[in-house]
Amino acid sequence: MEFQQRDLDDLKKAKKLLEYPGIAAKIADLIGTPIEKGFELLPDNWRLKVFEITRTALSKAADAAVFTMNNTPGDHSSNSWHKFAVAVTGGIGGFFGLPALSIELPVSTTIMLRSIADIARSEGEDIFSIESKMACLEVFALGGPGSSDDAAESGYFAVRAALAQSVSQAAEYIAAKGFTDEGAPALVRLIVQISERFSIQVSEKTAAQTIPAIGAAGGAIVNTIFIDHFQDMGSGHFIVRRLERKYGFNKVEKIYRNI
């Protein structure tokens, strides 16, 4: 099938969203302060703590986020509502700092995952299918390239390829036994892989919220940027998946790389 111009325009939009600079650059542009200053204020073991909190947040959010949604493909996504909800939790995180992360992040992640599922539905996904749920989780690994990333390893299709085996194994397990057993090795492995990338973005968000001048209001702003960033990742991801359903994976990947 010949690629239609409208679909090519959508794919260009998707690539622009997915390959845009990472969350740190967006936060620094808005607050006018390099977030490195926030890193200096965090405790010595903060990286491990953030990773553990991130992994727990993803595990708890994985299924809960779609319970309150209907499954009408093509419905418009409610991005503004989700941004407001995450901004509120960000205000709490900004006020209490790092100690509040273990409370704030699971709530924010669940809201964000619900928003991602909402976007997926608007692009024609069956959000109650295992494949679509796995695709929603993948979005948290698509943080966008950072300044220190190797482009060959951080590009959109490279990340999907790195996750492909774990996604497939987790989907097979869930199809057989459901989403409830978080101890399933395949699902744990996938959550860990995604957490390794997502925790980088969470660390940058946390560092920004730690800067003294930010405060509660700044925490809300940082969280709004945070969810906006992953809404962009979700939009790009599910545009690509919609086009893959129409034209096939290989054709879409080839055109994407040539844009």
pLDDT at 211 over 90: no
For residue range 159-200, list pLDDT tens digits in order. 999 999 999 988 888 788 766 555 567 888 888 999 999 988
Task: Kindly report the number of other CB atoms within 10 A of residue 31's CB atom.
Answer: 18
User: What residues make up the domain containing 203?
Assistant: 5-258
For 157-166, the CB contacts below 8 A with 24+ separation are: 157/253, 157/256, 157/257, 159/197, 162/193, 163/138, 163/190, 163/193, 163/194, 166/190, 166/193
pLDDT tier for residue 224 given thresholds of 50, 70 and 90: confident
- Count structural domains, the chain: 1
Question: Which is it for the CA torsion 34, 40, 43, 46, positive or negative?
Answer: positive
Mean of pLDDT values over 204-217 = 67
Calculate the CA 257 to chain-centre distance.
22
Give 41's pLDDT tier (boundaries 50, 70, 90). low
pTM above 0.95, yes or no: no
Q: What is the largest CA-CA distance in the chain?
A: 56
